């Protein structure tokens, strides 16, 4: 009974996590998907506005450029947001940064909402940029807050809130974009401005919950405020977590929060840093975006009418959301390592099956349906491991002084790869066609191998225990490595 209770979050802790997520990573998922539904209507608006201004029809290349700018400026904003998010989280606190971050979401939604009445597509570009900044800060700071307010036994489950709310945002964006809701031409400005609703919800909810206890004590030295926050979040079981915070504080005595460039120079954290760089790169380059790219095509090939495809696409969003919830339930039982390694292994298998199905899709009427099964299976595998565990490991592999800088680096890598895959992937498809999934097969297989040999299990371990185990495992590898590799490992683990 005690073990079961340890895995059930305090009501205040659970609500605090929801309040952080609703205006945090939910915005990222929602704004990725909500822009897809009004594509044609926004392009018509740009065309009309151009004609009203210059009394001429905009060229096809000009229209494509403006539309691609509206879509892709989101990633530029995200990169800006993640680079300032770590600094803000140290200066203003995790909770304070999340609350302040809503200024970007509210301003951006107003600009996009009034773009039609002011006949200014430039407001759409600026609005998407601000929403991107909001999403970048949220992706950086929200996992920090969740990881620091959660007790050790629940850190994985709480950390899965990041993935759960991203997938919930994607799913809700798909639903709201349906014609029966706000997917009609006359509603597209309202559709794009709905991003203000999660921001307002967070502004109402989050002030009722405390700041991160670790931040209050380790960064600001406010012992009583930290204890009060722990009592509020953990109830009667707050003493054990307080002991862990004290140990971490003692080990970090005299150390200040690191800047990203300082973290890059720290040889003692080089393997942890390499790990989060590889994990966050693979999260974008593992083929999940390619699967979504092929989904509509496969649905068409399977005989699904074009007007019904948006409803089937919602199934992919629901599929990822369900797996994120499942991962949240399993993560404290199976551990991080099993889930993320298993996810990448399954994705490797389905890359092979998907390539075969696409190659022989004309061989039988059944093959397109096999391809559809592979789509859903690949999404399930991603959501069960890489989609949720990556952010949790970024939290757990670093201690308090290094964690904000680690999130800046991890987030920057993630957004840069997001931008890269959007830019390069169409050319990869043209060049390799269905064989592009063999590239993703290599990436997924290499990541599964790296996780097996390098990353220790972090379940039910304090941040200091994880740090020490990581160093110990590296020393063991150094002792077992061939002579030519010892110098490199010694330098990295020094």
Checking if the pLDDT of 302 tops 70, the result is no
C-alpha span between 300 and 129 (Å, rounded) = 33
How far from 205 is each of 8, 12, 69, 199, 210, CA to CA, in Å?
21, 12, 34, 10, 11
Mean pLDDT for the stretch of residues 40-45: 94
Checking if the pLDDT of 215 tops 50, the result is yes
Checking if the pLDDT of 235 tops 90, the result is no
pLDDT tens digits for 135-171? 999 999 999 999 999 888 888 888 889 999 999 999 9
Percentage, residues of the chain above pLDDT 70: 93
For residues 476 and 346, the model is more confident at 346
Tokens 């200066």, located at residue: 91
Question: pTM value?
Answer: 0.87
Q: Which of 189, 177, 36 is nearest to 108 (CA)?
A: 189
Give 7's pLDDT tier (boundaries 50, 70, 90): low
Checking if the pLDDT of 124 tops 90, the result is yes
Mean pLDDT for the stretch of residues 189-195: 95
Phi then psi for residue 456, to 5 deg, are -80, 160
Counting other chains too, the contacts that 358-366 makes at CB distance below 8 Å and 24 or more residues apart are: 358/294, 358/433, 358/434, 358/437, 359/434, 359/435, 361/301
C-alpha span between 304 and 313 (Å, rounded) = 11
Contact in structure between 409 and 260 (CB atoms under 8 Å)? yes
Contact in structure between 182 and 38 (CB atoms under 8 Å)? no
pLDDT of residue 5: 47
Q: List the domains of the chain with CATH numbers.
A: 10-237 (1.20.1250.20), 258-473 (1.20.1250.20)
Checking if the pLDDT of 478 tops 60, the result is no
User: In the predicted model, what is the mean pLDDT of the chain?
Assistant: 86
How far from 147 is each of 26, 253, 397, CA to CA, in Å?
17, 21, 11
pLDDT tens digits for 13-32? 999 999 999 999 999 999 98
Contact in structure between 378 and 350 (CB atoms under 8 Å)? yes
Checking if the pLDDT of 3 tops 50, the result is no
pLDDT of residue 489: 40
C-alpha span between 142 and 327 (Å, rounded) = 19
Contact in structure between 232 and 111 (CB atoms under 8 Å)? no
pLDDT tens digits for 86-105? 899 999 999 999 999 999 99
- Cα angle at 282 between 276 and 284, to 5 degrees? 115
Q: Which of 129, 130, 109, 112 is nearest to 121 (CA)?
A: 112
Q: Which range has the top average pLDDT, 189-193, 240-244, 401-405?
A: 189-193
Tokens 């066609």, located at residue: 433
C-alpha span between 271 and 493 (Å, rounded) = 8
Phi then psi for residue 93, to 5 deg, are 90, 160
pLDDT of residue 1: 40
């Amino acid at each position: 009974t005690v073990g079961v209770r340890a895995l059930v979050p305090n009501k205040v802790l659970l609500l605090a996590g929801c309040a952080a997520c609703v205006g945090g990573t939910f915005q990222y998922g929602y704004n990725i998907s909500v822009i897809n539904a009004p594509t044609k209507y926004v392009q018509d608006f740009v065309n009309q506005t151009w004609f009203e201004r210059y009394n001429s029809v905009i060229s096809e290349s000009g229209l494509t450029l403006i539309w691609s700018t509206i879509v892709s400026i989101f990633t530029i904003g995200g990169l800006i947001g993640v680079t300032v998010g770590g600094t803000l989280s140290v200066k203003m606190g995790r909770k304070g940064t999340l609350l302040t971050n809503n200024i970007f979401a509210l301003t951006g939604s107003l600009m996009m909402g009034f773009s039609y009445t002011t006949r200014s597509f430039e407001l759409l570009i600026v609005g998407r940029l601000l929403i991107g900044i909001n999403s970048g800060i949220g992706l950086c700071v929200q996992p920090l807050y969740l990881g620091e307010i959660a007790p050790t036994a629940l850190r994985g489950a709480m950390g899965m809130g990041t993935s759960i709310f991203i997938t919930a945002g994607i799913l809700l964006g798909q639903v709201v974009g349906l014609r029966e809701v706000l997917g009609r031409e006359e509603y597209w400005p309202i559709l794009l401005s709905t991003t203000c609703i999660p921001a307002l919800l967070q502004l109402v909810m989050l002030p009722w919950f405390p700041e991160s206890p670790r931040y209050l004590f380790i960064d600001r030295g406010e012992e009583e405020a930290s204890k009060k926050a722990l009592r509020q979040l953990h109830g009667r079981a707050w003493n054990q977590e307080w002991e862990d915070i004290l140990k971490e504080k003692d080990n970090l005595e005299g150390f200040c929060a690191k800047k990203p460039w300082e973290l890059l120079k720290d040889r003692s954290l080089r393997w942890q840093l390499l790990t989060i760089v590889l994990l966050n790169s693979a999260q974008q380059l593992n083929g999940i975006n390619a699967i979504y790219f092929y989904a509509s095509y496969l649905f068409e090939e399977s005989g699904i009418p074009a007007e019904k495809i948006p409803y089937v696409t919602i199934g992919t969003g629901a599929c990822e959301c369900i797996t994120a919830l499942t991962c949240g339930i399993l993560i404290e039982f199976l551990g991080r390592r099993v889930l993320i390694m298993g996810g990448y292994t399954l994705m490797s298998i389905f890359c092979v099956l998907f390539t075969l199905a696409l190659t022989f899709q004309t061989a039988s009427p059944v093959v397109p349906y096999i391809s559809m099964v592979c789509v859903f299976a690949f999404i399930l595998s991603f959501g069960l491991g890489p989609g949720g565990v990556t952010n949790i490991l970024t939290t757990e592999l670093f201690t308090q002084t290094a964690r904000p800088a680690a999130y800046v680096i991890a987030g920057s890598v993630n957004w840069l790869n997001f931008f890269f895959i959007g830019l390069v992937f169409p050319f990869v498809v043209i060049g390799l066609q269905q064989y592009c999934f063999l590239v993703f097969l290599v990436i997924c297989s290499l990541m599964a191998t790296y996780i097996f040999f390098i990353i220790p299990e972090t379940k039910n371990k304090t941040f200091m225990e994880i740090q020490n185990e990581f160093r110990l495992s590296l020393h063991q590898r150094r002792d077992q490595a061939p002579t030519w590799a010892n110098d490199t490992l010694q330098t990295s683990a020094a």
